[in-house]
Amino acid sequence: MTSNPRKSQSSTLKAVDELRDLIFTGALRAGSDHLESELALALGMSRTPVREALLVLQGQGLVDVRPRKGARIKPISPTDMAEIYDVLTELESLAAANAARSAPKEADLATLSEAINDMDRALRANDLARWAEADEAFHCELVRLGGNSRISQIVAMMSDQVKRARLATLDMRPAPTRSNTDHRDVLDAIRKGDADQAQQIHHAHRTAAKEILIDLLETHHLNTL
């Protein structure tokens, strides 16, 4: 029973998935233009599902569909990064507060705790890619615990928009050891049910991350990642 659930997906959904992958990995470079027919050929399907997929991706802020110029893979500027991190900061820390207020049982915090441990292990192994993965899992789970599905959705969308830029700058950043202390502190605050503290710590955590990233982009003149 190793059936691949993707097998039964519609071409449109497959196109969305595959295009997202191509965008995240940089196979479709930021700022580049792509005709519908070109993408259809590459994905082995007709233009119809590709068009539909591009509409979806446009809704997710990943591409701009520009008639007769092709779909442009949206680049991320330092300004974009600042906008997105401001949204993430605000909504994630609200989620952290709500998570604390919801008085979760220890079992509910297992995933969060595991993500923190994963980050520790990844850091010790100097495996930044794996650290990034666990970091994303942490933030995703934290927001889920907040219990607001719209916040989860928005945070996922904003995270996707900066995913490429985050990966590209991963090895330019100082080792995120401080980051993990923050994560543990947030978890502790949630355990204690201290909503204000959870919110405050997470807010500071994200604000710091924002500043590091923006500085990085600006000093390296990375204006279109």
Partner DNA sequence: GCCACATTTAATGTATACATTAGTGAGATG
Partner DNA sequence: CATCTCACTAATGTATACATTAAATGTGGC
> Residue 56, interface with DNA (CB under 7 A)?
no
> Residue 32, interface with DNA (CB under 7 A)?
no
Report the nearest approach of DNA to the CB of residue 40 (Å): 7
Among 67, 105, 124, 150, indicate the residue that binds DNA (CB under 7 A): 67
List of residues 6+ apart from 218 with CB closer than 8 A:
78
Report the nearest approach of DNA to the CB of residue 58 (Å): 11
The secondary structure element, H or E, covering residue 214 is helix 195-219
The alpha carbon of residue 114 and the mean position of all alpha carbons in its chain are separated, in whole angstroms, by: 19
> Residue 91, interface with a copy of itself (CB under 8 A)?
yes
Report the nearest approach of DNA to the CB of residue 47 (Å): 5
Dihedral (C-alpha) 165, 169, 173, 176: value to the nearest 10 degrees?
60
> Residue 19, interface with a copy of itself (CB under 8 A)?
no
- 3-state DSSP assignment of residue 74: coil
Residue that has been written with the tokens 């079992």 in this structure: 107
Distance CA 48, CA 53 (A): 9
> Residue 58, interface with DNA (CB under 7 A)?
no
Distance CA 28, CA 147 (A): 34
> Residue 51, interface with a copy of itself (CB under 8 A)?
yes
> Residue 105, interface with DNA (CB under 7 A)?
no
Q: Which is nearer to a copy of itself, 116 or 225 (CB)?
A: 225
> Residue 207, interface with a copy of itself (CB under 8 A)?
no
Q: Are 39 and 50 in contact (CB under 8 A)?
A: yes
Instruction: Give residue 134's identity as a one-letter amino acid code.
Output: A
Alpha helix stretches (DSSP H) within 27-148:
36-43, 47-59, 78-101, 110-124, 128-146
> Residue 55, interface with a copy of itself (CB under 8 A)?
yes
Q: Which is nearer to DNA, 35 or 204 (CB)?
A: 35
Cβ-based burial of 4 (10 A; exposed 0-12, middle 13-18, buried ≥19) = exposed
Q: Which is nearer to a copy of itself, 86 or 118 (CB)?
A: 86
Q: Which does 60 bind (CB under 5 to 8 A by kind): DNA, a copy of itself, none?
A: a copy of itself
Nearest residue to 132 via CA among 110, 90, 164? 164
Among 15, 84, 99, 134, indicate the residue that binds a copy of itself (CB under 8 A): 84
Which residues lie near DNA (CB under 7 A)?
8, 10-12, 35-37, 45-49, 51, 65, 67-71
Which residues lie near a copy of itself (CB under 8 A)?
51-52, 55-56, 59-61, 83-84, 86-87, 90-91, 94, 148-151, 154, 158
